Amino acid sequence: MRLLLRSHAGHLMVLDFGAAVVITLAYGSLAGAEPVDGLPVFGGPAWLGWLVAAGVGMPLAVRRRRPLPVLAVVLLSSVAATLLDITRDPFVATALACYPVALLEPARRSAVAMVVTLAASAAAVLLGEAVVTPAGSWTEAGATAASVCLAVGLGWVVGRWVRERRALAAEQGRVLADQALADERLRISRELHDIVSHSLSTIVVKASIANHVAAARPEEAHDTLRVIEQTGREALAEMRRALGVLRDDAGAAAESASLAPAPGLADLPQLVRRAEQAGVRARLRVRAPGYLPAGMELAVYRIVQEALTNVVKHSGAGTRCQVSVGTGTAGEILIDVLDHGPPSWAPAPDRTGLTGGHGLLGMRERVLMYGGSLTAEPRAGGGFVVSARLPHPRQGAPA
C-alpha cells in the first residue's frame, strides 16, 4: 500500500512539473510577443519577462508540498504579469495554485487565502486594463476581472470538493474498520466460548466422577484424571490458535502456523469420543456432503460441539445421544443432535434458561451467517433436539 501511495504521489509530482514548465514557457513567449491583437504588450527587457514567467509557472512544481508559499509567489507573479501586460489568460496558474491550498490547508486558512487571492486578482486586472495601460472601458475590465475570479474560484472549489470526498471516504473506511473489528471480536469470543464451555463441561463432569470413585475405584479415577488432562491440553491448543490472530509479531505468526488447522468434519469422531469420555452414550453418523469450504466445516463442527456441550451439561452421564450430519434432498447440509434426556435414576435437569444461553446464540449466529435455519427445543418424549440446516455453497449460500 505504501509503495502504491508513493508511486501515485510521484506521478502527480511529474504532472505538476510538466505543467510548471509549460506555463513558464507560455508566459515567456508572451513576454516577447508582437502586438497583433491590438492589446498592449510587454516592452521591457527579456530577462524581466522570463523572470516573471518563472515566478508564475515554476512554483507549481512543488504546489502540493508548500501550498501557501507557492500560491503567494504565483499570485504576486501573476499580478506583476498583468501589470506588465504579459498575461493573456484568466490566471490559470493561480487557479492551479489554489487547488492544493483548498485540498491540504485548514479550512479557515484556506478560506482567508482564497479571499485574498480573489481580491488581488480582480484588483490587478482592473488596475492593469483600466488604469495602467487602458485597453477598453471599465465594463470590459470588470468582465475580464469576473472571468479571472471565476477561474481562480473554480480551482479552489474543486480542491474543497476533493477534500470532502476524501474525508467522507476516510470516515467510511473507519466505520468499516470498526465494524470489522467488532465482527472479529465477536468471532473470537464465540470461538473461545465454544472451546471453553465444551472443554470445561467435560472436565467438570469427569472431575465429579473421579471425586466419587477415588476411594472405591482408584484405577477408574486415574483414567478419569487422564481424560481431564488430555481435554485440558486440547483446549489450551485451541485457545492458542484462536488467540493467535491477536498477536502480530513474527514469532507468534510462526507459532500459529505450526498449530493444527481449524477443526472440520474429520474431527467430529474425536468430538463424539470426548462426549463419551464425559459419560454420554453418543453415536455419530456422517454422510459426506462433498466438498465444503473450511469456514462452513468449522461452523458444522462448532454447532455439533455446542450441542454436545449442552447434552453433557443438561443431561449428564448416562444419557443417549445421536449426532447426524448429512445432506438433504435439495443438497442442504443437515445437522441433528438428539439426546434422550437424563436416565431415570438421575434428577431431571432444568432447561428453562437454555434458550437464552450464549451457546444457542452462538449456534444461531453461525447458522444465520450462512443463510440457514436452526431449531432447538425439548422433545415430547424427553430430552432435547438441535437441528440446523445450512444451504450448500453451490446453491448460492453466502459462504
Burial 269-284 (b: 16+ CB within 10 A, else e): eebbebbebbbbebeb
β-strand partners of 320 = 281
Reported confidence tier of residue 310, pLDDT bands at 50, 70, 90 = confident
End-to-end CA distance of the chain: 28
What is the rounded distance in angstroms from the CA atom of residue 166 to the CA atom of residue 63?
19
Residue 336 pLDDT > 90:
yes
Helices 92-104 and 2-31, axial angle in degrees (round to 10)? 150
User: Which has the closest alpha carbon to 311: 202, 206, 231?
Assistant: 202
18-67: pLDDT as tens digits: 888 998 888 887 776 665 555 666 677 878 888 888 888 899 999 888 89
3-state SS, residue 183 = helix
- Interatomic CA distance for residues 268 and 285, integer angstroms: 10
**Set of cell numbers at residue 279:** 459419560
Residue 262 and residue 300 in contact, taking contact as beta carbons nearer than 8 Å: no
- Is the per-residue pLDDT at 182 higher than 50? yes
Does 34 or 205 have the greater pLDDT score?
A: 205
Nearest-angstrom CA–CA distance, 92 and 239: 63
CA-closest candidate to residue 371, choices 347, 388, 353, 386: 388
In whole angstroms, give the CA distance from residue 333 to residue 216.
Answer: 46
Identify the pLDDT of residue 37.
55
Mean pLDDT, rounded, for 90-98: 88
Would you state the pLDDT for residue 250? 41
Mean pLDDT, residues 241-262: 51
From CA 343, how far away is CA 253, in angstroms rounded? 47
**CA separation for the pair 239, 193 (Å, rounded):** 10
* Number of residues in the chain: 399
Q: How confident is the model at residue 237 (pLDDT cuts 50, 70, 90)?
A: low
Q: Can you tell me the distance from the alpha carbon of 6 to that of 337, in angstroms, rounded to the nearest whole number?
A: 56
Which residues, 6+ apart, have CB-to-CB distance to 392 below 8 Å?
289, 290, 292, 327, 331, 332, 333
pLDDT of residue 389: 92
Of 103-107, 120-124, 242-246, the least confident: 242-246
Indicate the average pLDDT of the chain: 78
What span, in angstroms and rounded, lies between the C-alpha atoms of 93 and 155?
10
On the question of pLDDT at 1 being above 50, the answer is: no
The pLDDT, as a whole number, for residue 298 is 85
Which domains are seen in the chain, by residue range? Answer: 2-174 (no CATH), 264-399 (3.30.565.10)
C-alpha cell at 170: 476516510
pLDDT digit string, tens, across residues 283-309: 999 986 777 777 788 888 889 988 888
Q: Taking a C-beta distance cutoff of 8 angstroms, is the pair 232, 200 a contact?
A: no
> What is the per-residue pLDDT across 363-373, written as a single tens digit (0 to 9) for each?
888 888 888 89
pLDDT digits (tens, 9 = 90+) for 259-269: 556 788 888 99
